[in-house]
Structure 1
Amino acid sequence: MKAIAITPGAPGAELIEFQEPEIKSPTQVKLQVLEVGICGTDREEVTGGRANAPQGSGHLVIGHEMLGRVIETGSEVSAVRPGDFAVFTVRRGCGKCEACLNRRSDLCYTGDYTERGIKSRHGFETEFVVDDAQYVIKVPESASSIGVLAEPMSVAQKAIDEAIKIQLARLGKIADEEWMAGKKVIVAGIGAIGLLAALALRLRGAEVTGVDIVEEDSRRPSILKRLGGSYLNAKKVAITDLDDRLGQVDFIFEAAGVPQLGFDLIDALGINGVYVMTGIPGEGKPVCIPGSDTMAQMVLKNQIILGSVNASTLHFEMGIKDLERAKNRWGNLVDELITTRIHFDNFEKALDFRSSDDIKTVITWK
């Protein structure tokens, strides 16, 4: 079968012949890959950036955002059956730490986890994949047109879920499962993950303001506004003025990966607010922050700032449910998050594609 692979540390990718996997355990599932999303991690890998091949292999099959169809299951599998749409999660735990032993590899203590298409385990940019059923999540047919968004949506879901759980733990009767309803929220960076976060937050009743540097009449702000959010161009509005403009901001979801913006946004966070960073910046220059003012603000306003990476199986499940809810509420608007589909024969075009209007480029394998 065909697969798209890289040599870690070297620029470029190639279409290779790869052995088709077979089910070897009664708990395994085999998927025919239908679509694989492209993100910044894939493009970083293709330029020689962070990536690790599996032990004993000189190459790495890339791809970690996927949608497939079940074609075969082991005798003990009941979660899915042939014909179902499904996705596999990305990270596999270290098998040693308390988090991984409790199916929270996203919180691994040792760092010895592996990730499909990223770290020491082949990914999904290929025709067929096999994995254990504990890593498979069924996608309802009604959400299959956007099922490839499950992985980036899971990242957004984890950040939102952790913010809500923090507020439930510390605010008690002041907060409940509906805590986001009516709250003012900033989503910084309205690419794929930011827009998916905005979508999930709007489903929870939050008042969402997106912040980015694209023009207001471009695709991404347009989708945000049709979801019921509002947009501010950071080129035209000072980040340090956001608190005066918006008032009490209860939650900030950062998905831009821009250090100066990330730290400047702390100024906008309100009393008892939670700020979750999900963007991972590349190497860059040091940034300046008003240390005394920022520290005093965080203490005096009881603010919490945390980082969030990857996601658990639960967050994949939550994300798929929200994608289905979004399809029911907004119809084909959600499909507009997938801006480009390119067949694997032209994978170079997909990996090289750059546009300010691009949200999610997908490589198709069917």
Structure 2
Amino acid sequence: MALLAKLCDKKVIVAHVNYHKRDTADRDEQIVRNFCDQHHLPLFVYAPKQEKAGNFQSWARQVRYDFFVELALKYHIDTIYVAHQKDDLLETYFFQKQRHMLCETYGLKTESMYKGIRICRPLLGLGKRECMQYCLDHGIPFGIDESNLKDDYTRNQIRHSLVDTLSEDQKEEWLHTIEKENREWNTKREQISLFLDTWDRSVDSLPDWLFLEEWLFQFTQKRFSKKECMDLMKQLQSDTLIDLGDYDLESYHKKLYLQKKKKPVFIQLTSLKYGQYEGFSIEKTGRKIEGITLYPKDFPITIRNVQAGDKIEMVWGTKKIHRIFIDRKIPRILRKNWLVVENSKKRIIFVPKIGCDVQHFSVKPNAFMIQ
């Protein structure tokens, strides 16, 4: 409410999320409604429901910020103001340290980005008591979140056992420590980035786990713990394919490959149609290796991912496609998304970057498939 009062003379819209998890949740919503009515501020209230079991705090944060971004995009707003204050910053820092988290920033930043929208935290210079006193001094109604008084969540435990016990001088000392740690971490990250700019993805040339973590973060935007990275470093010493959720990570002949997982491709064409498709294109011109001559009897053709047992008859004989991959030292991570063209008789007639079968080769191909 302190933040809302400070911004009420500006052109803003107000967003409130009511999870209905507390007995006083509706009371807090009504406080916001009354204030917005009094100051003629547009208010948008969202009451989400958690459909699946899981970490409530993590889910609540995501739906809250997604709601803010949805409103920002709809009403052409470039900045979202949130009411984090000094005690929240300290609480976040101690939480990160307790979990041994590797973060882009320790604590909270005055400004950050979320899905392309600027997040601004103008109250980080004030403590919780100062915000409450501001409301009391200016006659601004506010509610106490009774769930914060319990130790149900790790953050609450940190708040009660650590942050609330600190004097103002001690809090300032911790803020200086956090600032110093962030400066040192940013310097280290700059050194890592310079290394990664010219890195050849060789496993053996990685100085330590931090370099692997930063490389993974640059692609996945997900932070990995020291333990996770140390375990990965051990696995990556030999050829292996590792599932990282939305991504695959592979060590192949001492080189690292990282690729976002893709949906399987299965497209049928009843006639030759040039154009862009999901994962490939069919063009009128191209390189010799991309060319194929398609005949009416080939249709319908199917473009799909390569499967175990697929083989193709080339001018030098018939061979399993996976054997060709192995002979050409193509990493498994790339093979997973490799496509083939199958004709109406279920015969593989073309493989991108490998070529067409012997019966569909000509000096004037009528199609070029590019993957």
Pairwise TM-score range, normalised by the shorter structure = under 0.3
Give the structure, 1 or 2, with the largest relative contact order (CA under 8 Å, sep 6 or more).
Answer: 1
TM-score scaled by length of structure 1: 0.22
TM-score, normalised via structure 2 length:
0.22
Higher helix share: 2
The structure in which a higher percent of residues are strand is 1
